[in-house]
Amino acid sequence: MSERVQIQATINGEPVQFLAEPRQSLLEALRDELGMTGAKEGCGNGNCGACNVILDGRLVDSCIVLAAEVEGRLLTTIEGIAQGNHLHPLQQAFLEEAALQCGVCTPGFIVAAKALLDRTPHPTEDQVRHWLAGNLCRCTGYDKIVRAVLRASESTEANA
């Protein structure tokens, strides 16, 4: 076993310290060391988006970030999208638009879509499709996902 290093980061607004091996990805650290299993591994090489988190305001595939790289940085994961008991408009729109079937890609899509709406509060369908092209869904054909993101973007809350 290689030596574990101590890492400090801010995750969903909370300062967090944890230990991880240098070979562990951020995704592995979140899931295996911190018990935050909302981000999923679909491909392990940055081609499906199921592991998406927001790192210092930028959307990243956490499977190809080393845990050691997030020292001192700000992270938002799917666990931090809702405000307490209050769902984010994207989460509500995904439910109302039936934008999930199996649900395994859903956390990645919601995190990715949040990163979009944070930058572009009122995207066009084309902008939504371009932004989400790094997230694979095999169940829905994307139709209802794109509609859910557009619907959430009409909510004023999404832009808060």
- 159 is written with which tokens? 């832009």
Closest approach of another protein to the CB of residue 54, in Å: 9
Q: Which of 6, 83, 86, 96 binds another protein (CB under 8 A)?
A: 96
Listing DSSP states for 90-148 in one string gives HHHHHHHTT--SS-SSHHHHHHHHHHHHHH-SS--HHHHHHHGGGS--SSSTTHHHHHH
What is the per-residue DSSP string for 32-95?
A: IIS---SS--SSSSSSS-TTEEEETTEEEEGGGSBGGGGTT-EEE-GGGTSBTTB--HHHHHHH
Q: Say how many C-beta atoms besides its own lie within 10 A of residue 40's C-beta.
A: 21
Q: Which of residues 61-90 bind another protein (CB under 8 A)?
A: 61, 63-66, 68-69, 71, 77-79, 81-82, 87
Q: Is residue 45 involved in binding another protein (CB under 8 A)?
A: yes
Q: Which is nearer to another protein, 15 or 35 (by Cβ)?
A: 35
CB of 109 to another protein, least distance (A): 10
User: In this structure, what token pair is assigned to residue 152?
Assistant: 């959430």
Encoding tokens for residue 48? Answer: 């499906």
Which residue lies nearer to another protein by CB, 3 or 15?
3
User: Which candidate, 83, 86, 90, places its Cα nearest to that of 152?
Assistant: 90
Least Å distance between CB 13 and another protein? Answer: 16
Within residues 97-136, the interface with another protein by CB under 8 A covers: 97-98, 100-107, 110, 112, 115, 128-136
Site for another protein in 5-44 (CB under 8 A): 5, 21-25, 31-32, 35-44
Minimal distance, residue 48 CB to another protein, in Å? 5
Q: Least CB distance from residue 14 to another protein, whole Å? A: 16
